[in-house]
């Protein structure tokens, strides 16, 4: 094994400017990655690397060493971030990056500051007796799903690289180890605020809030009550994000407060999954025994998490406690309205409505109820409805997604009646519907095929194919038509697992 991390590589320069590492010491612990034996670069996201202003040729050559943590680029200041969090409703005052190390930040080609973080790079002061490592399967899952979410137009952390370490990790069985390189707008979480609130450290709560405003919400600097404005802005972003999750049938699976970013990006794709047959109570996560983070519960959990953020921020919202509570409650009360607006607007587009009427909510709810009763595949049904919007001959294909095709007839009649009050042409309507109703998602059984082929056989061809097809989710891709189909009997994935 490599005996020590090599520092200050000149061969693959990163334009680091590490603002988080300049914060006071309680925010993080300095730590180097732990070297691995035989790193091998499985995948480099060259498009993202170029977006970040990185030298892709150098990364192809040196990426295995850099993205495994064996070689630290010049300008990096590796740290593990400190945070707390509610995990399944139970507060833990100290969590932190137990298997993640923030290398640093770069300013990308658009002028946006972005984190580069290694996941699975070895133990940190927050590992809590863990090995700080990641298995190859969860690394592949996070790579696939985070890039698919980006392609779907949903704010999410990105995948820059995946590396096999050459070392085993020990879980229920011995598995090949891997390191995942994640890119994020930042890794500040609700749990970061909770960390300082739990310690009564109001000074650093203000430092953190100012940092977040500078980095993510600079327009709030001139607000009379900037911290109240920050809470409101975070609430609105989270409402919009979760509405978009629901629009593509996405279930996060572990919406703890330490997995909710302040920037409004989706983060941590451990036991996440996309629904096949529509079921509002659907749960995949093996650790979510009570269904706390089921599909339809996600909006309410988002509000619950924001309430925990508001509690953490109360001491700095206003010197008058009653006014602070009133401001926080007003924001939390408005969350439902903001979410409902985003969700209903998204659902209107999914069924081809460009205008709004009072009966639209009932029309959407009726469709979803029939889909639930008829075991209709969420993604396939909406995609085929897009075809019906353009050509009535496609109705049979759409109806065939229901266990009893006849049950959708009454809804189609009501839908067509509603469309008579729209001004767009059929072609325009269908085209717009296809921009919000994907043909392809990273279906659970396909992800499991990828993991099995890569882990057991060293075959990355299925991994590459799934990445390719999900990079263009809204396009018809005849070559990959099979990837649009739901799992056959016996192929269904009923449980997903955390990567820890």
Q: 10-residue block means of pLDDT along the chain (500 residues)?
A: 54 86 97 97 98 95 96 96 97 97 97 98 95 96 98 98 97 94 98 98 98 98 97 98 98 97 96 97 92 97 98 97 98 98 98 98 98 98 98 98 98 98 97 98 97 96 98 97 96 80
DSSP state of 130: -
| pLDDT of 500 | 44
Rounded to an integer, what is the distance from CA 500 to the centroid of its chain?
A: 17
How far is 283 from 176, CA to CA, in rounded Å? Answer: 28
Q: Are 36 and 2 in contact (CB under 8 A)?
A: yes
| pLDDT of 11 | 54
How far is 470 from 416, CA to CA, in rounded Å? Answer: 31
Answer yes or no: 258 catalytic: yes
Show Cβ contacts of residue 210 under 8 Å, excluding neighbours closer than 6 positions: none
Phi and psi dihedrals of 188, rounded to 5? -70, 130
How far is 43 from 295, CA to CA, in rounded Å? Answer: 31
Q: Are 238 and 307 in contact (CB under 8 A)?
A: no
| pLDDT of 6 | 67
DSSP state of 289: T
| pLDDT of 12 | 62
Q: For residue 260, give both structure tokens.
A: 């909710």
Show Cβ contacts of residue 486 under 8 Å, excluding neighbours closer than 6 positions: 276, 277, 377, 380, 443
Q: Which of 115, 131, 258, 377 is catalytic?
A: 258
| pLDDT of 250 | 98
SS3 at position 247: helix
* Nearest partner of 257 among 303, 199, 197, 190, judged by Cα: 190
CB-hemisphere CA count at 13 Å for 297? Answer: 18
| pLDDT of 8 | 55
Q: Where do the H-state alpha helices sit in 351-436?
A: 360-373, 378-390, 395-399, 409-419, 426-434
How far is 140 from 191, CA to CA, in rounded Å? Answer: 26
Kindly list the distances between the CA atom of residue 252 and the CA atoms of 141, 296, 496, in Å, as whole numbers in the listed order.
13, 11, 11
How far is 445 from 490, CA to CA, in rounded Å? Answer: 10
How far is 27 from 195, CA to CA, in rounded Å? Answer: 9
Q: Are 334 and 241 in contact (CB under 8 A)?
A: no
| pLDDT of 498 | 78
The burial class, CB within 10 Å (0-12 / 13-18 / 19+), for 234 is: buried
| pLDDT of 172 | 86
Query: Where on the phi/psi map is residue 308: left (φ > 0), alpha (ψ -120 to 50), or beta?
Result: alpha
Got the DSSP string for 315-330? HHH-SSHHHHHHHHHH
Q: For residue 156, give both structure tokens.
A: 């999410």
Q: Are 388 and 398 in contact (CB under 8 A)?
A: yes
């Amino acid at each position: 094994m490599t005996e020590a991390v090599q520092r200050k590589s000149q061969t693959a320069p990163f334009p680091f400017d590490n603002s988080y590492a300049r914060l006071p010491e309680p925010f993080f612990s300095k730590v180097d990655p732990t070297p691995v034996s035989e790193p091998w670069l499985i995948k480099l996201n060259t498009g993202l690397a170029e977006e970040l202003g990185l030298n892709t040729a150098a990364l192809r050559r040196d990426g295995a060493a850099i993205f495994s943590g064996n070689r630290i680029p010049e300008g990096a200041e590796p740290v593990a971030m400190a945070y707390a969090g509610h995990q399944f409703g139970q507060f833990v005052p100290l969590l932190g990056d137990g298997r993640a190390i923030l290398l640093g930040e770069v300013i990308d080609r658009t002028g946006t500051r972005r984190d580069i973080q290694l996941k699975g790079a070895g133990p940190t002061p927050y590992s809590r007796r863990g090995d700080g490592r990641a298995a190859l399967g969860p690394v592949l899952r996070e790579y696939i799903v985070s890039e698919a979410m980006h392609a779907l137009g949903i704010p999410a952390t990105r995948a820059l690289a995946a590396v096999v370490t050459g070392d085993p990790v020990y879980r229920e069985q011995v598995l090949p180890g891997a390191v995942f390189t994640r890119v994020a707008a930042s890794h500040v979480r609700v749990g970061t605020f909770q960390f300082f609130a739990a310690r009564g450290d109001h000074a650093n709560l203000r430092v953190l809030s100012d940092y977040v405003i500078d980095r993510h919400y600079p327009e709030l600097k001139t607000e009379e009550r900037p911290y109240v404005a920050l809470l409101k802005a975070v609430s609105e972003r989270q409402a919009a994000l979760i509405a978009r999750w629901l629009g593509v049938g996405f279930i996060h699976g572990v919406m703890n407060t330490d997995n909710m970013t302040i920037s409004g990006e989706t983060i941590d794709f451990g036991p996440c999954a996309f629904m096949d047959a529509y079921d509002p109570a659907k749960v995949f996560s093996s650790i979510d025994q009570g269904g706390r983070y089921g599909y339809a519960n996600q909006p309410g959990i988002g509000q619950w998490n924001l309430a925990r953020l508001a509690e953490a921020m109360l001491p700095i919202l206003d010197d008058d406690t009653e006014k602070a509570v009133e401001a926080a409650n007003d924001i939390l009360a408005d969350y439902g309205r903001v979410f409902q607006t985003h969700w209903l607007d998204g659902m209107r587009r999914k069924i081809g409505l460009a205008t709004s009427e009072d009966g639209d909510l009932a029309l959407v709810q009726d469709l979803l109820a029939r889909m639930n009763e008829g075991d209709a595949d969420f993604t396939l049904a909406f995609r085929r409805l897009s075809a019906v919007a353009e050509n009535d001959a496609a109705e049979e294909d759409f109806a065939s997604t229901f266990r009893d095709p006849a049950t959708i007839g009454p809804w189609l009649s009501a839908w067509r009646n509603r469309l008579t009050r729209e001004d767009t042409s059929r072609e325009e309507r269908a085209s717009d519907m296809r921009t919000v109703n994907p043909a392809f998602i990273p279906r659970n059984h396909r992800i499991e095929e990828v993991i099995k082929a890569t882990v057991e056989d060293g075959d990355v061809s299925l991994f590459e194919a799934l990445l390719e097809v999900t990079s263009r989710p809204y396009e018809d891709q005849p070559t990959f038509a099979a990837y649009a189909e739901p799992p056959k009997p016996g192929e269904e994935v009923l449980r997903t697992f955390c990567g820890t």
